[in-house]
Amino acid sequence: MTAVDPRSALVLFSGGQDSTTCLAWALERYAKVETVGFDYGQRHAVELSCRGPVRDAMRRLSPRWAERLGDDHLLDASVLARIGATALTTEAAIGFDAEGLPNTFVPGRNLLFLILAAAVAARRNLTILVGGMCETDFSGYPDCRDDAVKAMQVALNLGMNRRFALETPLMWIDKAATWRLAATLGGAALVALVRDETHTCYLGDHRTRHGWGFGCGTCPACLLRARGYAAWRGDPEGQSG
């Protein structure tokens, strides 16, 4: 374990597997950690409802994390749902494109989240922004790519006259490695927390239980999570990836 970094961090925290792992990553590193989430429509209500319980469970998991975990901020980003709804009036029913993106996907969504998060961080004097953006599994999301995030760091620092550092611990790892990272950060207890308390399913199914957690089991997000879990379980020594 490395010495604690005295800086303060703001984690973009949705209540899903990736951002929960990022929250643990930040709690292990930084002296003070706050969280920010975005409410942008009904399809993610389940995920949002996981945020409070996950934060509480993180506190119970480690006294050190409990000491470091600070305020939560939930922002209204419903303008995104309105843009998505507008797009859907001219398209077919909700579905997934060739890259597994739901066609409700709004271009630039993660760019907007970073701007809003930076605005909160500026107000709260937090200098590190932590997000679960990842090129490995979701290369179809251009605003999750490393170059886009690095460009945003430059733009935010110029536009807000700050020295933010944007950290993306999952950028170059796949879902199996994300499970492995959770095990490294918080052992079996954190893996169980991620498995049982977080939500990833695009369809909002939080009743059907699988070995890898809750979800419909067939949407792209569930498949990714399930395959990653299976790959990690089959590779407990972390010799691949």
Q: Give me the residues that bind Zn ion (CB under 5 A), please.
A: 201, 203, 215-216, 219, 222
Residue 41 or 215: which CB sits closer to Zn ion?
215
Q: To the nearest whole angstrom, how small is the minimum distance from the Cβ of residue 201 to Zn ion?
A: 3
Residue 130 or 201: which CB sits closer to Zn ion?
201
Residue 15 or 215: which CB sits closer to Zn ion?
215
Q: To the nearest whole angstrom, how small is the minimum distance from the Cβ of residue 218 to Zn ion?
A: 6
- Count CA atoms closer than 13 A to 26's CA, side-chain side: 35
End-to-end CA distance of the chain: 22
Residue 59 or 210: which CB sits closer to Zn ion?
210
Q: To the nearest whole angstrom, how small is the minimum distance from the Cβ of residue 214 to Zn ion?
A: 9
Residue 102 or 142: which CB sits closer to Zn ion?
102
Q: To the nearest whole angstrom, how small is the minimum distance from the Cβ of residue 228 to Zn ion?
A: 14
**Three-class secondary structure assignment of 115-156:** HHHHHHHHHHCCCEEECCCCCCCCCCCHHHCHHHHHHHHHHH
Q: To the nearest whole angstrom, how small is the minimum distance from the Cβ of residue 204 to Zn ion?
A: 8
The DSSP bridge pattern shows strands 165-167 and 209-210 to be unpaired
Question: How many residues comprise the chain?
Answer: 241
